[in-house]
Amino acid sequence: MADEAKELVMVTGGSGFVAAHCIIHCLSSGYRVRTTVRSTKREDDVREMLKAGEATNLDRLTFTVADLTKDEGWKEAVEGCTYVLHVASPFPPGAPKDENDLIIPAREGTLRVLRAARDAGVKRVVVTSSLAAVGYGHGDTNEPWTEEMWTDPRQSFGVFGLASLS
């Protein structure tokens, strides 16, 4: 594990649910972690969330400001990283009127991360999808989400209280 402590993992969207779990796992596995936030005002909130999740080795955690909808900050975010976990996705504050309100920002944000990782010589990038890929059009359900479930834009969007994507 001594060698792992030298490796740096960048996790996008440090204030998010999936990112928090990735950060906790990476820190407990001996990695150093850099995570992105859109504002430095979120750092204390993220640290408190991680402590509540019983994170260890928070001294190995650093923050950098980067927004998936903007070009600035991504070069610095991945600089010196061995791995990137891209687990964030921009999400509109209100009900999307068109599927492109979800797709285009997610695609462009992912491309920003991938280009920066490529340019920095990152060894491996892991990209997750968004709940938006599966979450719309199923109505209320207590069933676990699976890889067989995809958004159906022809149906109502009861899960998120949305009327339509078309």
Q: Kindly report, residue by residue over 19-61, the tens digit of the pLDDT.
A: 999 999 999 999 999 999 999 999 999 999 999 999 999 999 9
Whole-number Å distance between alpha carbons of 160 and 149: 15
* Reported confidence tier of residue 160, pLDDT bands at 50, 70, 90: very low
Q: Kindly report, residue by residue over 73-111, the tens digit of the pLDDT.
A: 999 999 999 999 999 998 777 777 787 888 899 999 999
CATH code, 34: 3.40.50.720
Q: Which domain holds residue 157?
A: 135-166
The two three-digit tokens of residue 116, written as one number? 């920066």
Whole-number Å distance between alpha carbons of 162 and 131: 14
- Decide if 87 contacts 11 (C-beta within 8 A): yes
> What pLDDT is stored for residue 22 in this prediction?
97
How many structural domains does the chain have? 2
Render the burial of 24-47: b for 16+ CB within 10 Å, e for the rest.
bebbeebbbbbbbbbeeebbeebe
Are both 111 and 90 inside the same structural domain?
yes
Are both 19 and 59 inside the same structural domain?
yes
| pTM listed for this prediction | 0.81
Are both 95 and 51 inside the same structural domain?
yes
